[in-house]
A = this chain, B = another copy of it.
Amino acid sequence: MAKRGYHHGNLRQALVDAALNLIAERGPTGFTLSEAAKAAGVTPAAVYRHFQGREDLIAECARQGYEIFADLMEFAFDGGKPTALSAFEATGRAYLAFARKYPGHYVSMFESGISVNRTPELARASARARGVLEHAAENLSQHIPKEKRPPAAMVSAHVWALSHGVVELFSRGEPGSQAPYPPEDLLEAGVGIYLRGLGLIAPDR
């Protein structure tokens, strides 16, 4: 399997990687098929051997993002060990780490405007990620008395929304844009207060 020559060898993934870099650097708007092809050392037309078009390439970036994302969340939660609470907090931190470490994936997933239903594979990957988060919330919820327990899907949506909001508003630090606190601290404090509100942390530890 020669890496170079007339045949590329692994062009499909090379295109995805090039696209991810471009999207991370210039945003979903700045990304062009032609540039991605050029970055992969290939003619724009070659892209069509592997993808139906520009949007299809972005969708694949998003799909791979959801897979990594789900894996990371699952790993961070680790079945709720050592305690459901600490595992849940680790999951929150992992969310931010993902956004920071995989900006191209993150943008493809959440800011590219690509619908999660564009592709069956993308829909499946996204559903799996959602499932992991809900599973974590469910696990956590069992420690709340049943009568005051909100649905797990809601708890998971809250933490997801808070994390996403922190990323979008305070982690994308443009130069000059004021980030009042380090995003990690902001999110950790926020999740902490929220969990206390759920009755999962003693009110005045």
Q: Quick check: is A98 within 8 A (CB to CB) of the other chain? A: no
- Inter-chain contact B110/A168, CB cutoff 8 Å: yes
Q: How long is the Cα–Cα vector from A165 to B194 in the complex, in angstroms?
A: 15
- Chain A residues 143-176 with CB under 8 Å of chain B are 148, 150, 153-154, 157-158, 160-166, 168-170, 174, 176
Q: Does A90 contact B (CB under 8 A)?
A: no
User: A165 → chain B, closest Cβ, in Å?
Assistant: 3
Q: Which of A17-25, A44-52, A69-77, A196-204 contacts B (4 or more CB under 8 A)?
A: A196-204
B residues in contact with A176, CB < 8 Å: 115-117
State the number of copies, please.
2
Apart from A148-B204, A157-B166, A158-B189: 8 A-B pairs, beta carbons within 8 A: A115-B177, A117-B176, A150-B193, A157-B169, A161-B165, A163-B165, A164-B169, A199-B203
Kindly report which residue of chain B lies nearest to residue A179, judged by CB atoms. B157
A111 to B116, CA, bound (A): 18
Residues in A lying within 8 Å of B, measured CB to CB: 27-29, 110-111, 113, 115-117, 148, 150, 153-154, 157-158, 160-166, 168-170, 174, 176-177, 180-181, 186, 189-190, 192-199, 203-204
Contact B180 A154 (CB under 8 A): yes
Are B193's CB and A158's CB within 8 A? yes
